[in-house]
Amino acid sequence: MPIIIDKLQYVYSPQTAYEKHALKDINLVINDGEFVGLIGHTGSGKSTLIQHLNGLLRSTGGKIYFNGQDIYEKDFNMKYLRSKVGLVFQYPEHQLFETTVYKDVSFGPKNLGLDQLEVDMRTYEAIKMVGLGEDMIDASPFELSGGQKRRVAIAGVLAMKPEVLILDEPTAGLDPKGRDEILEQINKLHKESNITIVLVSHSMEDVAKYADKLIVMNKGSVVFQDTPHKVFEHYKELEMMGLAAPQVTYVMHELKDRGIPVKTDATTIEEAREEILKCLLR
């Protein structure tokens, strides 16, 4: 069942001189199996929103429903929510704390009270799913590369067998090769497991390539929620918010302005190439 967000509000330091309305009447539906891109400039409310989805923050107004249940009901099992909605933070060091990769990834399943055989099965499966070799199982996570640390952090969440995986800037600080490897691994997980993905990113190219739906936030509010093609039609409005469209969007508009009759809704290099070839062959 989907995650339904109904008139969600959040205020930092209410009734003080530092009061700030971080979220304002957020209404969203995140459907099962969707790959959602969440974008917005720094301070737009993205991180605050995702921390509500697994109960790390409690709203100051509105409701969130997971699998048909209001997560703010008195008898709601928040531990169950956090096992089903996994959150991977921007910096993996914030989630890694054990002496070996195995211990780190197995921490979540152990805390679910599972027997050792199930813990082992989930741990090895999650490590394999993120593309780490078995030779790393006994390695210290703190001696790994940035990309490998992120894989360990993701594996630790996957070992809980979540229905929703939320990733906050999972490629921050990585080189282009490491970034592509992480995103391809996430996309592979989505396709093979039909897990719901929420990807927070500053890269318009990345969300255009992988996301089914984009959610654009600005000053604590949702401004757009639609397919990448529809959202990036508003590239001039996005620019006013400190965002942009993928580079190919600007290229296609430039070609159009120069009299080449291309459609301007391409958001990836592949789509742009197909449209340009189609136009040339007419």
Report the pLDDT value the prediction gives residue 13, as an integer from 0 to 100: 86
pLDDT of residue 93: 76
Q: Could you list the residue range(s) of the whole structural domain that residue 87 is in?
A: 3-245
Give rounded-to-5 percent helix, strand, coil for the chain. Answer: 45, 20, 35
- C-alpha 18/C-alpha 13 separation (Å) is 6
| Domain assignment of residue 164, yes or no | yes
Nearest to 6 by CA among 30, 25, 20, 23: 25
pLDDT at position 52 is: 96
Indicate whether 258 belongs to any domain: no
Residue 205 lies in a domain: yes
Residues in contact with 276: Cβ distance below 8 Å, sequence separation at least 6, in sequence order:
255, 262
What's the total number of domains in the chain?
A: 1
Residue 192 belongs to some domain of the structure: yes
- Burial category of 148 from C-beta neighbours within 10 Å (exposed 0-12, middle 13-18, buried 19 and up): buried
pLDDT at 92: 76
Q: From CA 207, how far away is CA 243, in angstroms rounded? A: 13
Whether residue 275 lies inside any domain: the answer is no
pLDDT in tens, 171-192: 887 888 888 888 998 999 899 8
- pTM for the model: 0.91
What's residue 14's pLDDT?
A: 85
- Taking the C-alpha atoms of residue 252 and residue 276, their distance in angstroms, rounded to an integer, is 9
Q: In terms of Cα–Cα distance, which of 148, 21, 8, 136 is closest to 72?
A: 8
| 140 inside domain | yes
Position 105 in a domain: yes
Using CA atoms, how far apart are residues 266 and 245, in angstroms rounded to an integer? 10
Sequence-distant (6+) residues with CB within 8 A of 166 are 50, 53, 54, 85, 86, 87, 88, 197, 198, 200
Give the sign of the dihedral formed by CA 125, CA 127, CA 154, CA 95. Answer: positive
Task: Tell me the mean pLDDT per 10 residues along the chain, length 282.
Answer: 93 88 95 96 93 94 94 92 90 83 93 92 91 88 88 91 92 83 89 93 93 96 95 94 93 92 91 90 76
- Which pLDDT belongs to residue 197? 96
The answer to whether residue 251 sits within a structural domain is: no
Half-sphere exposure of 118 (CA within 13 A, CB side): 10
pLDDT attached to residue 135: 86
Please, are residues 213 and 226 in contact by the beta-carbon 8 Å criterion? yes
Position 31 scores a pLDDT of 95
pLDDT tens digits, one per residue of 36-50:
999 999 889 999 999
CATH of the domain at 183: 3.40.50.300
